[in-house]
Amino acid sequence: MADIFISYARPNEGQAKKAGDALRAAGYAVWRDDELPAHRAYSDVIEERIKSAKAVLVLWSNEAVKSQWVRAEADAARELGTLVQVSLDGVMPPMPFNQIQCADLFGWTGDTSWEGWRKVEASLSSLAGLSASPAGDETDKEPDAPQRRVVACVLPFINMSGDAEQEYFSDGISEDVITDLSKVSALTVIGRNAAFALKGKPVNLQELQRDLGATHVLEGSVRKAGTRVRISAQLTEAANNHQVWADRYDRDLTDIFAIQDEISKAIVAALQLKLLPKEKKAIEQRGTSNPEAYNLYLLARRRWIDGNNDDPRRAEVVVRVCRQAIAMDPDYAQPWALMALAQTDLRFWHGHADDGREAAERALALNPRLAEAHGVKARYLQSDGMIEEANAQMAMAMELDPESWEVNREAASLMFRQGRFEEAIPYFEKAAALVEADYHSPGMLLTCYTALKSQSELDRIARMTFSRVERALAQDPTNSKALGMGAGALAAMGEAERTREWIDRAMIIDPDNILQRYNMACCLTTWLSDDDQALDLLQGYFDQATAGQVEHALVDPDMDAIREHPRFKEMVAAAQKRLADEATSKT
């Protein structure tokens, strides 16, 4: 029987053939449904082939998500512990498969050196091995004994510091352990989004095994006080609650990197997996040897993820903290890249003179594979009218780190600005899945799905957005951005009266925020058909809008209802003239 079964939707047959050809060239026996015998029932053959395969490669796409056959085949593989999945077009796998690691093959042309494909091959190798039979010689061969498949779920480490403000540190440690273990080719790691969705919730290990396919679960806690840190961790086998490994590290904060290395290597050893030399080296690469610079970077990134992106103070704080981290270690690439993102936000969304290009170039000089810095370069290339170059730069960023929240957000925004709303959707979806506190990405999905008239998806996203907004407002009732997104979600759900209440509340709290005025105008014209009030709010927006903000309004489908209105045209023309005059005065 075949080593690998390929599941796909019929419109993706070309990609399935490329995958099959690449795997056969690597020595695997591959089967897909182009080889169905004419004398046997389709379902019987499929079931037999899936059960006998060492690995099942599912090629997800917009078409595959709608296919009951692909879903059934993926579910069977998940139950057998043989599922390996990829996304061909950026779409997220449907539930419950969206909780399992998925490689990104968006734009793949069959090149086996492609980063995403190498990840696929590593996962398949851990299940099917490399000593495959020649293609076509399957008839009389007895299947090998199935190899042990190890799937680890790293639960967010508990903050035991007695200070909620230290949560960023325990979360940062958890994310780094997930990243480290993901570098081990013999180990499959449940993605960050699925693991962090369990934060603060009671966990049943057997349910994790059933729902996520986890064979082992890592739990831990972090206590940070002054210059000391205590990290406790334990690895448990999900099927029987057997503790495989446990340890406690009570040391100076300066040892934080050594602790992380020791945890990752101890887990690999406890699972009796082979750590390749290049994987050992990758785990030990931290970007900095300065623990205080590392601490500041984690603090800045948490502010970047959790902050209100309509408020320039968020980006200003990130820039300041990153500068402090860089002062401690000028060769630490990550804070350079994060500072570049914040400076880019200040420039294009808040009209500041900051320019993120220099910081992005510095980050790439230190680490050419830093995806976030490539995303920044793509933003500036697009601003300069170099669209093809911008798209190529963003494709490179996605190939380097398809699991980055920042990169998915930047990719989605770049496509949105080009009017490619359908193509932006998978990236906004991925960003929303990666960070559960992100309500901006679902809010943007409301616009995209409205433009595409996708009512079922619109209902789902409206509920998601409102749920996340409520959590954000519970922490800060004055968060005007959350109020604006909440108003849009309520409008999409058909609650016109509550929508107006939320709009009034948002404008009372933050009347001078022009981005808030814009968001409320979108809500009024798109959902409440109140074009006059929307235009009144937009007057204050266009009087102060930056070039980036005007650019956004010109492509935003939320403006379609009033785009041809004389007042709208006059406001846009006045804003463009003002910006041109300002640019001339600076030269």
Tens of pLDDT, residues 41-57 = 456 667 778 877 888 99
Q: Lowest-pLDDT range, 23-37, 316-330, 508-522?
A: 23-37
Would the pLDDT of 531 be above 90? yes
Matching residue, tokens 């407002």: 473
Each as own residue / partner, the long-range contacts of residues 244-249 (CB below 8 Å, 24 or more positions apart, any chain) are 244/216, 244/270, 244/271, 245/270
Tell the CATH topology of 4-128. Rossmann fold (3.40.50)
| Domain extent listing, the chain | 4-128, 151-286, 439-587
Q: What is the mean pLDDT of residues 346-353?
A: 87
Q: Where are the alpha helices (DSSP H) in 161-290?
A: 167-182, 192-196, 205-212, 256-270, 277-284
Per-residue pLDDT, averaged over 230-237, amounts to 93
Band of the pLDDT at 206, cuts 50, 70, 90? confident
Pick from 253, 233, 254: nearest CA to 244: 233
Q: What pLDDT, on the 0 to 100 scale, is given for residue 386?
A: 95
| Same fold flag, 4-128 and 151-286 | yes
Summarize pLDDT for 378-408 with one digit per residue, the tens: 999 999 999 999 999 999 998 888 888 999 9
pLDDT in tens, 363-373: 999 999 999 99
Q: Per-residue pLDDT for 534 more than 80? A: yes
Q: How confident is the model at residue 34 (pLDDT cuts 50, 70, 90)?
A: low
Residue 2 has pLDDT above 70, yes or no: no
pLDDT, tens digit, 9 for 90 and up, residues 139-192: 344 444 344 568 889 999 999 987 777 888 888 899 889 888 888 878 888 877
Instruction: State the pTM of this model.
Output: 0.70
Residues contacting residue 390 through CB under 8 Å, at least 6 positions apart? 378, 379, 381, 382, 414
Contact 117, 22 (CB under 8 A): yes
Beta-bridge mates of residue 236: 217, 243
Q: What is the pLDDT of residue 134?
A: 38
CATH code that applies to domain 439-587: 1.25.40
- Higher pLDDT, residue 46 or 518: 518
Residue 575 has pLDDT above 90, yes or no: yes
When pLDDT is cut at 50, 70 and 90, the band that residue 316 belongs to is very high
Query: Which of the two residues, 228 and 135, has the higher pLDDT score?
Result: 228
Find out whether 307 and 314 touch, Cβ atoms under 8 Å: yes
Mean pLDDT of the chain: 86
Q: Is residue 346 pLDDT above 90, yes or no?
A: yes
**pLDDT exceeds 80 at position 292:** yes
- Please give the share of the chain, as a percent, with pLDDT higher than 90: 39
Instruction: Tell me what the mean pLDDT of segment 223-233 comes to.
Output: 89
**pLDDT of 43:** 60
pLDDT, position 415: 93
Q: Give the pLDDT of residue 63.
A: 82
Question: What's the CATH class of domain 151-286?
Answer: alpha beta
Lowest mean pLDDT among 13-17, 111-115, 132-136: 132-136
- Closest CA relative to residue 557, chosen from 461, 434, 454, 436: 454
Q: Which of 273-277, 473-477, 543-547 has the lowest mean pLDDT?
A: 273-277
As given in the structure block, the two tokens for residue 248 are 């406690």
Least confident piece of the model among 163-167, 328-332, 564-568: 163-167
Instruction: Choose among 567, 480, 488: nearest CA to 528.
Output: 488
